[in-house]
Each structure stands twice: as C-alpha cells, then as structure tokens.
Amino acid sequence: MDPTGWTISDFANAYESGTSVADVIDAVLALMRAAPIGVLIGEPLDDLARRDAHRIASLDASTLPLYGVPFVVKDNIDVAGAPTTAGCPGFAYEPVVDATVVELLRAAGAIVVGKANLDQFATGLVGTRSPYGVPPNVIDPSLVPGGSSSGSAVAVALGLVPFSLGTDTAGSGRVPAALNGIVGFKPTLGSASTSGIVPAVRRLDCPSVFARTVDDAAVVARLIRRPDLADAFMRPVMHRVPFRSSPIVGVPSSWPAELEITDDMVSWFAVAVDRLRSLGCEIHPVDITPLLDVGRMLYGSAMVAERSAVVGDAVDKGVAGLDPVVASIISSGNDITAIDAYRAEYELTRRRALAVGLWTEIDVLALPTTVSVASLADVAAQPVGRNEMMGRLTTFVNLLDLMGIVVPLPGVARLPAGLQLIGLAGHDDEVARLALGFESGVLAANAQPCSLVVVGAHLTGLPLNHQLTERRATFVRRARTSADYRLFALPGTVPPKPGLVRVASGAGAEIAVEVWAMGHAEFGSFVDAVPAPLCIGSVTLDDGSVHHGFLCESFAIAEATDITEFGGWKAYIASPATPGSL
C-alpha cells in the first residue's frame, strides 16, 4: 500500500473497502520516516499515531469526518506528549494537553503523525531560519520553500499527508503554499482558537490549513472554527452577505514600482485572471497602494515589539539554537518605547481607514501570493531583504481583518506561484466556493438559504429590483404561480405595484413571477421594509413548491383593477392600454 498523494476522500474509500486504520497509518509513518531532512522536527510520532489508530478502529467511521486521516502539525502548535520547539531547541517544552485545534481534529478522527519544521518562532517567510534544516521546495529545490510554515506545506506537497496545520501572521499559511503548488487556507482572524500555539504576534496569529485540494482545506478549516473559552482572542464572526451571483473580483489597476514584481509573475497572474473571467467573474481594477502601506507596518514600525513581548525573554537569555536573524529581529523590540507603540497604532488606524473602503466595490481581491521567487542563495546573501519581498502581498491581510485562500493555477507550467483570494472577515465559505471554482473550472451557484417570490416592482429591470441586488440576492429562475391567484393593480402606489391575492381553487390563474434567494439576515431586513398592504406570506408555484413571497391583504383590492388576464405585472405595464405603459 502506498498512500502518497491521497486526499481525505481516498482515505475514506480505503477504510470503506476494508483496509484497517492500523495498516494505513503504518504505511504513512513509513513515508514520514523517509521524508527529506528538514521537513520534520524529530522523529515521526509513531507511538501516539498507533495509539490513536487503535482508539478509533472500533468507532463508527460515519460519525467522524476525518476518520483515520493522518496530518502533521507545525511545531509551534502543541501536541500532548510531543515536544514543542517553535524551531528553537533551547525553547522546547513538552505540553500535557493538545492545542485546541489539534484536539478538535483528533476528536474528528484525524491522527497526528509528526511535528513539522518552521522558521524559528514563526518569524520569517522564507523557510530557511531553522536549526533543523531547510525543507526542499518541491517544484524547484534551488528555491526557498517559503515560511514560516515550511515543513507543514512541504509535507503536503510531497504527498506524505493530505493536510497539515500551520499558522499565519504575516503570510506564513499562504507563501509556502504558493511556492510549493498546494492550497493554503487562512481563516478569519479569531474564528479558530490559538490556545496551545506559541505566539508570534498574539493579536494577529491565526491557525492555517494546507491541503492538496480546496475541498480538503475547507473541510478542515470548518472543523477548527469552534468557540474556545480558553482563548481570549476568539470572537464571534459577523455573517457576511453572499457574493454577487457574478462575483466582482478586484485586481490591481497597476503594479506599484516598489513592489518589484517580476514579468513572469505578471504574466502568470494574467492567466489566472483570465480563468476567473471564464468562470463568470466581473474583473474590477483597484488601487492596492493603501493595502501595501498597511502591510509595511508589520515589520517596519514599532509593531515588531509584539514579537519581543511573547518570546523576547528566550532570546534575551540566549537559549540554545537561536537563529541569528530571528534573534536580531526579536531583540530589536527591546528598544521600542510605549510612546513608539502608541504612535504606530495611531498610524495604523489612519492607514486602515484608507484601505478598508476597497471592499465596498468588490466581493473579493485577487493577487499573486508573492511578487517573485527567491533562491536559497538569494536569501543567504540578503536574509532580511528577500524575506521582506516574500511578504509584500500578504502582510496586510491580518492587519485589516481579512481572510484568504491560496490556490494553484491548474494546467499551467509549475511556476512556484499561487492565486491569493482575499475576502472580508466572515467570508470564508464564499471565498472557498470561488477558490473551488478556480480549481475545478466550474463555479457553483450561491447556496442562499431564503427563497423569495417577487411579482411586481421587484422584478428584474423594474424600479425596486435594487432592493434585492443591494442585499446580494441571487436570481434563481423565472416561474409561474399555481392557478390559485389573481393579480390586481393597486391604486396610488409609487412606484406602481400589483397585489397578488390567493383565491378559491378554480377561481384564479397562473401568474408570472421570479424566484430570488438571499441570506437570513438580508431576508429579515428586506421583510422589515415591505409596506402595507403588501406582506410576505407563502406562495405556491405551478410545480407544487412553496416559497416566501409577496401577497396583498384582501381589503386593499376593493378599489384595485383586476389585471389577472395579463398573466403578470410586466405584461400589464407593457400593454398600450396601461397608463404610463412601457
């Protein structure tokens, strides 16, 4: 048995066919032992993995969404019984409980098989700042693997496991995904617990997921989005309206010179944008300069002192195995005063105000993940400069309370690049839907929970249709009611409106309508604005389905004109005999 490259579904299929969890996990552990130097810290977690395999073997697989699925964990995330090093031998400790995200995944049936290498203290985007070696870039070994979650990304890219956990503060869950041709999912900040994770910048840290497919990454991301009272930085995440039925995708109107983006990356991104356009997305140029201005503050201001606040003591003590570049970055925070920190916060607030308005124009922002690639030699010669270049298009995301998914471009020569799709906090599922469409070439329709039948001025092209579209409602289909309704032109309404009234069986006719769909919150705000004598009730269509829809109170038709014979409102207002007809 060779489980190299298996997805979550492949593991489920193996178990359904009768393969034992123990045999599968033994095969995965063999892969882990043969992994290149630098992917793992320490040996595979044989004993822990086999105990878990034995534990779940007697359980009902249908109740565990990740039954017997192996994964690796970035080594700044606690796994009970295994040392946590954060990439620094002298910092190591052995936790007695799992990090919350690990606990949730193990409870779902997943099995931890190893701890993955990282840029020390999650400080870096190159993947070379570790005394445990450098994981190989799977596309081009001369290039850096990207960091800080280097080992987690490479383990998935090599096919050793179907998914892994990383963390993302400045881009650590996205840069190594792009550079190794896999999916990287950075959830909304505060939606997944950081309990049991060694902090980098405590208020900006976020657990992240690497996987070979968008679907696998989304499954795992949903499983770790659970409340945790032990994490004071968690928060309820506001529900966002769904994307427009044809999503508006923001792309840079120009590439600022200071980005230093390469011609190869510009050409690659143009192909990616064409693929988005082919899915039905509307491409909208935007100015990304305010975003870059925010991103520069993460390392280029007093904010760097936050790293000193969490691991500065270890650096000051000179614990064994410190990376000199990481130690220099963290110790630099010692010279920053409280006044400097407050001034940086004021400046960040100013820059945020200039940047956040961008999402009033678009549903999602599309960017390359990096402006270029970097060789191992480049980083050795310029360890700080090349690292800064790796994060120019990622560092602003958590500072602006955004989420993001990186997905490879299918069917294109394997330039180490990934499309970064960035959305507002709370838009995780919608961005995942678009990323899945980009991956597969087919964009699924919005799955909005509330259907609404409209009959008059809210129909497509009529004066009140904007009340639907501004709530991101999705047009579903044209339809007809059952033959149990009559339609009336209500006098004195502005704009003119009809009233739909249900009548006795055999006394009505089929009326042309449209079916729309929208989210729960949007539906509530829409209903709240419906004026009397109109109301929202239950409307039966000619196929027997029942939906929320516009009806009219019966008292209001006493002086109204019966227009049922026209078969619908649009036919009535288009009639030459209708006052003010089209």
* Active site residues per annotation: 74, 148, 172
Rounded to 5 degrees, what angle do the CA atoms 501, 507, 511 make? Answer: 50
Label residues 42-56 b or e (16+ Cβ within 10 Å = b).
Answer: eebbeebbbebbeeb
Cα–Cα distances in angstroms (integers) from residue 1 to residues 54, 56, 555, in the given order: 19, 20, 74
H-assigned helices in 484-558? 520-528
Among 70, 66, 81, 398, residue whose Cα is nearest residue 208: 398
Q: Which residue has the tokens 């501004």?
A: 470
Spatial CB neighbours of 30, under 8 Å, sequence gap ≥ 6: none
Distance CA 311, CA 327 (A): 10
Spatial CB neighbours of 385, under 8 Å, sequence gap ≥ 6: none
Distance CA 174, CA 564 (A): 58
Label residues 126-138 b or e (16+ Cβ within 10 Å = b).
Answer: bbbbbbbbbbbbb
Q: Which two tokens stand for residue 160?
A: 């050793």
Cα–Cα distances in angstroms (integers) from residue 375 to residues 112, 133, 263, 414, in the given order: 31, 16, 17, 16
Amino acid at 582: L
Distance CA 312, CA 327 (A): 9
Cα–Cα distances in angstroms (integers) from residue 172 to residues 150, 153, 189, 279, in the given order: 8, 10, 14, 29
Would you say the C-alpha torsion 112, 117, 121, 127 has a positive or negative sign? Answer: negative
Among 559, 472, 565, residue whose Cα is nearest residue 510: 565
Cα–Cα distances in angstroms (integers) from residue 576 to residues 449, 489, 561, 571, 582, in the given order: 39, 15, 16, 10, 8
Q: Which two tokens stand for residue 393?
A: 């298009």
Q: What is the CA 189 to chain-centroid distance, rounded?
A: 10
Residue 112, helix vs strand vs coil: strand
CA terminus-to-terminus distance, the chain? 70
Q: What is the CA 536 to chain-centroid distance, rounded?
A: 34
Q: What share of the chain is helix, strand, coil (3-state, %, to 5)?
A: 35, 20, 45
Rounded to 5 degrees, what angle do the CA atoms 155, 149, 293 make? Answer: 145
Distance CA 124, CA 461 (A): 52
Number of other residues whose CB lies within 10 A of the CB of residue 478: 12
